Amino acid sequence: MKKLIFLLCCLAANISLFGQATPKYSTYYYQRATLFEQLPVSADDILFIGNSITDGGEWSELFNNPHVKNRGISGDTTEGVYDRLSVLLKGQPAQIFLLIGINNVPRGESANNITESIRNIVKKVKAESPHTELFVQSLLPVTPHYKMFEEHTSRWQMIPDINRAIRQMTQEEHVTYIDLFSHFADEQGQMKTEYTNDGLHLLGKGYLLWKTIITPYIKK
């Protein structure tokens, strides 16, 4: 009986331990975030921060500039960016191009909630790296055409509302807003199929368009 009680206590302790050790984010998030902790950031660097859409871009090659660095993590959310931001800001980068929020949409978050989370990121950049020039990019459109990533793409109609809220917030916070949405959207407000093959992520042609839109903002 004593052995049984002992075993049950050990089991309870292990369950408690594993419960406490449950990671907040995906394994990929920690793979990338811990790598970024080891990679240097300098005052000459331009960081692209975001989720899989940013993660998928070969930014240094697109701009032929070793100071342009990819700090995107597939699956990331506004909270995930906020939690890993301080490490990136230690180097006081020259510029940050932020695109985040679409992965908050399947969680049922409102446009205002998503925007306020982005505001928190903006305030953190201002506080910890005040000389960094911050560009907040609009969410890209999505399309249900391919019947993929339906938790995202079925909510395509709310993206303009999110972008309006983000634009208003950037005006209040005195940071630059970059409209990507209108360049990628069709007349309905969905992503043009020529730029995506799954309704959410970009094809090469999409990255080239993105580069064209933001090139005037890139520090020489």
pLDDT, tens digit (0-9, with 9 covering 90-100), for 52-62: 999 999 999 99
SS3 185: strand
Q: Specify the range with the lowest mean pLDDT, choosing from 19-23, 102-106, 144-148, 186-190.
A: 19-23
Please choose, from the candidates 60, 65, 59, 55, the residue with its C-alpha nearest in 3D space to the C-alpha of residue 33: 55
Question: Stretch 24-34: mean pLDDT, rounded?
Answer: 97
- Of residues 13 and 81, the one with the higher pLDDT is 81
The Cα 120–Cα 129 span in angstroms is 14
Tell me the HSE value of 63 on the side-chain side, using a 13 A CA sphere. 24
Asked if pLDDT for residue 5 goes beyond 70, the answer is no
Within 10 A of 191 (CB to CB), how many other CB atoms are there? 28
- Rounded to whole angstroms, the Cα distance separating 37 from 92 reads 14
Give me the mean pLDDT over the 100-105 stretch: 98
Name the percent of the chain lying above pLDDT 70: 90
The per-residue pLDDT for 220 is 80
Dihedral angle computed from the Cα positions of residues 109, 191, 83 and 86, in that order, rounded to the nearest 10 degrees? -140
Find the angle CA(127)-CA(85)-CA(157) to the nearest 5 degrees: 100
Tell me which DSSP letter residue 72 carries: E
Q: Say whether pLDDT at 114 is over 60.
A: yes
How far, in Å, CA of 38 to CA of 160, rounded? 37
Amino acid at 39: L
Residues in CB range of 210: below 8 A, 6 or more apart = 57, 180, 202
* Range of lowest pLDDT (9-23, 67-81, 188-202, 205-219): 9-23
Give the pLDDT mean for 78-86. Answer: 98
pLDDT for res 38: 97
Whether 16 has a pLDDT exceeding 60, the answer reads no
Instruction: Tell whether the model's pLDDT for residue 2 goes beyond 60.
Output: no
Which one, of 106, 104, 84, lies nearest residue 96 by Cα? 84
- The arithmetic mean of pLDDT across residues 193-203, rounded, is 98
* pLDDT given for residue 52 in this prediction: 98
Alpha-carbon gap, residue 54 to 155, rounded angstroms: 20
Beta carbons of 150 and 144 less than 8 angstroms apart: yes
